[in-house]
Amino acid sequence: MKNKTTKPQRSPLALAVLAHLAEEPMHPYRMQQLIKERGKDEVINVRQRTSIYQTIERLLRDGLISVRGTLREGGRPDRTVYELTEEGREVSKDWLREMLSTRSQEYPDFPAAISFLTLLTPEDVLRQFEKREVALQEAVQHVDYQLLNYKENVPRLFMLEVEHSRALLRAELEWLRAVIEDFRTGELFWSENWIREVAERLNNQE
């Protein structure tokens, strides 16, 4: 039985499940197909199908979805079809409003790694940044390709998350190139002695 005092756990994948069930009842494999076909896998992690099933189990326990029936097709395993409950419809709207209006605190790998650069030498960091620059360039080209090829057939409304991804990628690429240049000119540099001096000075200020 669902604990009414427990707030349903929100996640991008959970929202995606509810949003797809708002269209029509469907089974998990169909949800995964649609997410990929529509390019939503660029912003929602559906690489592991087990994550979809785990999310569905949680939504089912929370009463946000229910079992509609079982789909039986010749030669294929039976597939459970789910549908959205009224509570699920309202919760999905609440989640969407909150995710649109509120800046959440996220903890991605890259900013964390930047905060510990001095574990490596400046030369090593520069090499890693140059590799990341190439990866970012490829990512920008990928989203540019998406926008160019979809804009004729897909309304802009359904491509806004791709525009957002492009804006973030381009901003990071611009920042990274500036930092790489500072490493190359020697403006950004450190040594073990310099790190010790900074640590001692900061410790004395405490």
The answer to whether residues 114 and 200 belong to one domain is: yes
The mean pLDDT value for 172-194 works out to 97
Among 42, 67, 101, which residue terminates a domain?
101
Q: What is the mean pLDDT of the chain?
A: 91
Domain count, the chain: 2
Q: Is residue 5 assigned to a domain? A: no
pLDDT in tens, 80-113: 999 999 999 999 999 999 999 998 888 889 999 9
CB atoms within 10 A of CB 127: 13
Q: Is residue 150 assigned to a domain? A: yes
- Residue that wins the pLDDT comparison between 34 and 206: 34
Cα–Cα dist 186/170, whole Å: 24
Among 77, 101, 125, which residue terminates a domain?
101
Half-sphere exposure (Cβ direction) of 178: Cα atoms closer than 13 Å:
6
pLDDT computed for residue 183 by the predictor = 97
In this structure, which amino acid lies at residue 190?
W
Report pTM: 0.82
CATH code of the domain containing 77: 1.10.10.10
Residue 48: burial class (beta carbons within 10 Å; 0-12, 13-18, 19+):
exposed
Contacts of 6 (CB under 8 A, 6+ apart): 62
Q: Is residue 3 assigned to a domain? A: no
Task: Tokens for 93, please give them.
Answer: 């709207």
Quick check: 4 pLDDT over 60? no
> Which pLDDT band, with edges at 50, 70 and 90, does 127 fall under?
very high
The answer to whether residues 92 and 117 belong to one domain is: no
In this structure, which amino acid lies at residue 73?
E
pLDDT computed for residue 1 by the predictor = 43
The answer to whether residues 131 and 194 belong to one domain is: yes
Lowest mean pLDDT among 47-51, 98-102, 128-132, 159-163: 47-51
Containing domain of residue 72, as a range? 12-101
Helix (H) or strand (E) holding 122: helix 122-150
